Each structure stands twice: as structure tokens, then as C-alpha cells.
Amino acid sequence: MAKKDLYFSQRNDKRHTIMIGLEKFDNLISLITYFKDNATCKQFLKEQRWGDDVVCPYCGHHHCYSRSNGQFRCPNCLNNFSVLVGTIFENTKIALVKWFSAMYLISSHKKGISSHQLARDINVTQKTAWHILHKVRSLYSQDDSIELSKDVECDEAYIGGNEKNKHESKKTEGTQGRSLKTKTPVFGMAQRNGNIVAMKTQDTKGRTLMPIIRQFVKEGSRIYTDEYIGYNSLVESEYSHAVVNHGAKQFVDGDKHTNTIEGFWAQLKRAIFGIYHFVSAKYLQRYVDEAVFRYNSREQAESERFRMMFHRSIGIFRYADVKNVG
């Protein structure tokens, strides 16, 4: 789940100025036209990240000074650093305009973009595009502090396990329904007309799901689920529990339904099987985070989603944080 956006915590006083600076890029052509070389990109990063007060990414000291080689020096810890240190661009050999273009394309595609398509769009190898996509996906990490309330739908999805193209002799038996033999479970909670929280889980037993529900769903909310026994542990003193019996072909009973979260699962699966084609369990949480981000920002314009990604990209975190996601 999400690491706090330290960029905003350190630079909240200049957030309004930063937002105005990024509003000029409301389409990809305007972005490519403006960022004509790496020097322009770095200057823009400096202005967006620090304004007139350069902050050391190592010790947090303010008022670092510029050097003739384009780097900065901290008078406190004496480290030299570039504007890329502590961002997802650190140590990159890829032109920054390609990074910026990739971020715009990734954030603007409503259903996601494959590494093959991104490679063609920004003229890099598929391996490089895959690397960019996963570093950008690390920025989608969900917020641990989010709270869902009022009417909240809970449900599980099972990703993987598609063996229809396998020979009968090689198919795994007993993989239907909630079997975890070849599938990875994902648990989701959707506030009606609000946000979604979803995450990969070890299993879907009640002892696994209940702590997650208690963490994210405000006490006193009304929770809607299907008849799965994993939800039998919901305590009436904490939540009001409404059940829709899918096993009896009951999908809507007045306001009782789980259509919101099931619609999200449909979007996630269409992206995984229709665009990415295959997602390993190791990286599944990154794709879930991406789908959650797209859903929760559904009312925002493409340029606004790009601004959000750009802000996160210049937050203070290390490449190790990116590699360890999921």
C-alpha cells in the first residue's frame, strides 16, 4: 500500500503554484513541444520540485546551492546531487521527455496500455517500456489512511487460472469457483458513489478479510456482500450487514446488491486479459493499484491524472521502494 507522498508534505506551501505550472499540458503534443531537450526537462523538474528553495534529498536541509556542472551541493551534509535524485528518474538513461510522454500516455489511457504499445509510442524497446510501466505503477500505491463509509460493497475476485488452451492431460483439477490452486485472490471494498480499496490477499477466509474491513470501513456503515461464509464474522454491533444470495440467482433485491464492486472486477479483468494478457502473481498488486487509481480518479480529466502522477514521480523515495512493490 501507499507510501506517503513526502513531496507534498514538504512542499504543501507551494502546491497551488505547482498545479498552475502543469496546467499547460492538456495534451501530448503540447508536452512534447515544450520539453525539447533534457535541460528543459531538468529545469522544469527543479521548479516543480523545489521552486527557489532547493532541498537536499539526503538530509532535508534547505537552501542548497547550484554548481557549475548542473548539480547541487548541500552545505549541511556536503553531498552533491542532481534534481533526479530521489525520484523515479534517478539514474535513468532514458530521455526525460520519453519519461514524461510515457507518464502522460499511461495516465490518460482509460483501460491501461501494454508495454508493446508504449514501446511503439515512445520508440523504446519492449523491455524498457515494461520497466517504465512498472516504475510508474509504483506511484499508484493506495493510501492506507483512506476511510470508506455509509454503503460499502465487499467482494472477492480470483485472478489467473485460465487453462482453456491447455491440453486436457495438463489441466489442473478442481480450479473452479473460489479455488486457489491456480488463482490469486483479490479483496475489494467499494463505497457507493465513492472510492474503492482493493488488495491481493493470501486467502479469503473470514480471519483474513475481517481485519481489512475494520481497517478501511468506518464502524456503523452498512456492508453489502454475497452469501459467502467468509462474511459471517461481521459483527452487528460494528456494521449493518445486508446479503444478496447469488447462489439462488438473486443479484438485486431493492438496494441489496454488489454491482459496484463487481463492475470494478470486470474492468480489472478486461485490462489484465484484454490489454496485458498475462499478469504474474508477483506483480498483481501493482495492476490492482493501477485499476483502483483509474476508478477513483474517474471524474478527473486526463491532464489532472497526469499532474497527480507527475507530483508523485518527484516525491522523495528510492528505487528500492519501487522494486519492492507487490
Structure letter (DSSP) for residue 229: G
The label of the residue with cell 506483480 reads: 283
CA angle (255 as vertex; 254, 256 as ends), nearest 5: 90
| φ, ψ for residue 240, nearest 5 deg | -90, 130
Choice among 64-68, 160-164, 283-287 with the minimum mean pLDDT: 160-164
The x, y and z cell numbers of residue 250, run together, are 438473486
pLDDT band at 266 (very low <50, low <70, confident <90, very high): very high
Determine the residue type at 50: W
| pLDDT confidence of residue 180 | 57
| pLDDT confidence of residue 183 | 86
pLDDT band at 178 (very low <50, low <70, confident <90, very high): low
The x, y and z cell numbers of residue 314, run together, are 518527484
pTM of the model: 0.78
The x, y and z cell numbers of residue 175, run together, are 480450479
Question: What are the DSSP calls for 149-178, one per residue?
Answer: -SEEEEEEEEEE---TTS-GGGPPSS-STT
The x, y and z cell numbers of residue 226, run together, are 454475497
pLDDT band at 12 (very low <50, low <70, confident <90, very high): very low
Residue 271 CA to residue 159 CA, distance in Å, equals 12
C-alpha dist (Å) from residue 32 to 27, 29, 38, 100, 122: 9, 5, 12, 8, 11
Between 290 and 11, residue with greater pLDDT: 290
Contact yes or no for 173/183 (Cβ under 8 A): no
Share the mean pLDDT of the chain: 82
Is pLDDT at 232 greater than 70 in this prediction?
yes
Sheet holding 196-200, edge to edge: 196-200, 183-191, 151-160, 222-225, 240-243
The x, y and z cell numbers of residue 225, run together, are 456482500
Compute CA 78 distance to the chain's CA centroid, rounded to the nearest angstrom. 35
pLDDT band at 291 (very low <50, low <70, confident <90, very high): very high
End-to-end CA distance of the chain: give it in Å, rounded: 9
| Domains and their CATH numbers in the chain | 6-140+301-323 (no CATH), 151-279 (3.30.420.10)
Nearest CA among 246, 283, 241, 289 for reference residue 264: 289
Nearest CA among 193, 202, 252 for reference residue 224: 252
Nearest CA among 116, 86, 125 for reference residue 5: 86
